[in-house]
A and B are shown apart, each in its own frame.
Chain A
Amino acid sequence: MASREPSSMITMKGVRFSYADRPVLNGIDLTIAKGEIVAVMGGSGGGKTTLLGLIAGRLKPQSGSVIVDGLDVPHLKKSELYGLRRRIGMLFQFGALFTDLNVFDNVAFPYREQTDLPEAMIRTLVLMKLEAVGLRGAHDLMPAELSGGMARRVALARAVALDPSVMLYDEPFTGLDPISVGIIGRLIKRLNRALGMTSIIVTHDLNETLRLADRVIVLSAGQVHRDMNPEDIRATDDPFIRQFADGLPDGPVPFHYPSIDYVTEVMGP
């Protein structure tokens, strides 16, 4: 048997990123292995979505390195980057379906743009993907006619159309009813196992995350605060994670936006 390479799919080292003069990430180090499902958690505005942007090469870090599938993402040329992105799927927070195309054409979009497959074969592939998310019967609906959960499933079918090796999920559970959350969660797991994908899920839905992920990375103050197994999260006494898990309004993440002293502001100096 050939010796197995340490098969890391995504490696980030010392990644720093700021929007204008607001620092978001202050030196992120993480490694994600092939086939893993990793959840990235943290407060709102904590740089979780930024992390996905960096992995996909939509954003460039001010310093540090981002290696995806052996490629140095920030230094790729546009054509190389697009080559990489053909192997990366992304599910956007609200699906980002093309509103002028129906469900079928949305899922067919990647095939039509990226392959020379004949239309008959595209039809078969699209119906297979829609079947996998349970929406084959909805193929001629327009995005406006879909519920939030259905739109998310169509978007998922579109994102995995080209069988990517990496899937990025940006808040896949936000704004969905519990049934849809369960459906999406199960689909993510199933697709991951069936297609051998590496999945990164940015979320703050703790319950679903614990059911789904192999590993949970908690971001805080722009750094990897904890990197742990889902089982350990429930037991940990880390104050930040406890605040997050128990939904406490105040704690290491302050309830108040930074401000000058209340009495001083109200009464005047």
Chain B
Amino acid sequence: MMASIEALGRFFTSRLERLGLAARFSGAVFLVLWVSIRRATLIIRELYFSGVRSLSIIAVSGLFVGMVLAVQGYEVLQRYGSSESLGVIVALSLVRELGPVVTALLFAGRASSAVTAEIALMRATEQLAAMDMMAVDPLSRVVAPRFLAAVLSMPLLAAIFTSAGICGAWIIGVKLIGIDDGAFWSQMQANVDVRIDVLNGLLKSIVFGTAVGLISVFEGYFAVPTSEGIASATTRTVVISSLSVLLLDLVLTVMMFRGLS
């Protein structure tokens, strides 16, 4: 009985301790951000590995998600005789929700897991220690550029995902199903608001990029330096990132879109 209460307490205190560690670590990363922003070459390298190398998966996924949305949306809309609104439905779904959220989920799997594994392996092979011994702060040299790359590339990737999705919907809706081309675009133009929809979607992306970026560098930096430790750190990055993105999305959506009209 006592033992199980003890175990329960240990479970929660260890989680709480790790959360505190993560908060302190995040603070430390933010403190060195300025140092690292001035090292543009380092950030560009990470933007290439995290952002540019994710382009194909993001664009292709966006295209397919848009196509599926068009098929499903048309099926429902034509029951109410408003299949011309397909462009609006697809665009709003993508701009407000699917663009930022699916991009963040894909990014967590494609890029963040790699960042975690890379940093963890650098720790395991004492590369971070060597850097620290050469009076180079691993936080500003290794961690901050990778974090910044996530924050910067997320909104751009989400925009590409959304654009590809709209193109996909256009191919299905206009080219294959035969909805009127003009109605598709003009309704979309009339009903998608720059501030409410586009800007809020962008904001979501930036928040997701911050969360996913922090989680990936934290898990890598504090990974147990064994093969098992690195494997579980990589898994944790994907799992915790995905859950955080979905939870944050709920919170942000409520804050942004509750009480609209």
Instruction: Give B124 Cβ to nearest chain A Cβ, in Å.
Output: 10
**C-alpha gap A94/B127 in the complex (Å):** 10
Judging by beta carbons under 8 Å apart, are B129 and A82 in contact? no
Residue picked from A58, A90, A93, most chain B C-beta under 10 Å: A90
Judging by beta carbons under 8 Å apart, are B134 and A110 in contact? yes
Judging by beta carbons under 8 Å apart, are A92 and B135 in contact? no
B132 within 8 Å of A by Cβ?
yes
B250 within 8 Å of A by Cβ?
no
Binding site secondary structure of chain A? mixed
A5 within 8 Å of B by Cβ?
no
Judging by beta carbons under 8 Å apart, are A85 and B134 in contact? yes
- Interface size on A (CB < 8 Å)? 22
**C-alpha gap A83/B129 in the complex (Å):** 16
B176 within 8 Å of A by Cβ?
no
Judging by beta carbons under 8 Å apart, are B126 and A85 in contact? no
Judging by beta carbons under 8 Å apart, are B134 and A109 in contact? yes
Residue picked from A82, A86, A114, most chain B C-beta under 10 Å: A82
Question: Which residue of the partner chain B has the closest CB to A112?
Answer: B136
B243 within 8 Å of A by Cβ?
no
List residues 60-95 of chain B with CB under 8 A from any CB of chain A: none
Contact of A82 among B126, B127, B135, B141 (CB under 8 A): B135
Judging by beta carbons under 8 Å apart, are B125 and A96 in contact? yes
Instruction: Give A235 Cβ to nearest chain B Cβ, in Å.
Output: 37
**C-alpha gap A85/B132 in the complex (Å):** 9
Judging by beta carbons under 8 Å apart, are B127 and A98 in contact? yes
Instruction: Give B142 Cβ to nearest chain A Cβ, in Å.
Output: 10
Judging by beta carbons under 8 Å apart, are B129 and A92 in contact? yes
List residues 84-137 of chain B with CB under 8 A from any CB of chain A: 125-127, 129-137
Cβ contacts under 8 Å, A114 to chain B: 134-136
**C-alpha gap A109/B136 in the complex (Å):** 10
Residue picked from B131, B132, B133, most chain A C-beta under 10 Å: B133
Question: Which residue of the partner chain A has the closest CB to B49?
Answer: A100
Cβ contacts under 8 Å, B130 to chain A: 90, 92, 96-98, 155
Q: Which 4 A-B pairs have the closest CB atoms?
A: A96-B130, A96-B126, A82-B135, A85-B135
28 CB < 8 A contacts A-B: A56-B133, A58-B133, A82-B135, A83-B135, A85-B132, A85-B134, A88-B133, A89-B133, A90-B133, A92-B126, A93-B126, A94-B125, A96-B125, A96-B126, A96-B127, A96-B129, A96-B130, A98-B130, A98-B131, A99-B125, A109-B136, A110-B134, A113-B134, A113-B135, A113-B136, A113-B141, A114-B134, A114-B136
Where the two chains meet, the residues of A that have a C-beta atom closer than 8 Å to any C-beta of B are 56, 58, 82-83, 85-86, 88-90, 92-94, 96-99, 109-110, 113-114, 155, 158
Given contacts A82-B135, A92-B129, A155-B130, 17 further A-B contacts (CB under 8 A): A58-B132, A82-B137, A83-B135, A85-B133, A85-B135, A86-B135, A88-B133, A92-B130, A96-B125, A96-B129, A97-B127, A97-B130, A98-B127, A98-B130, A99-B125, A113-B134, A114-B135
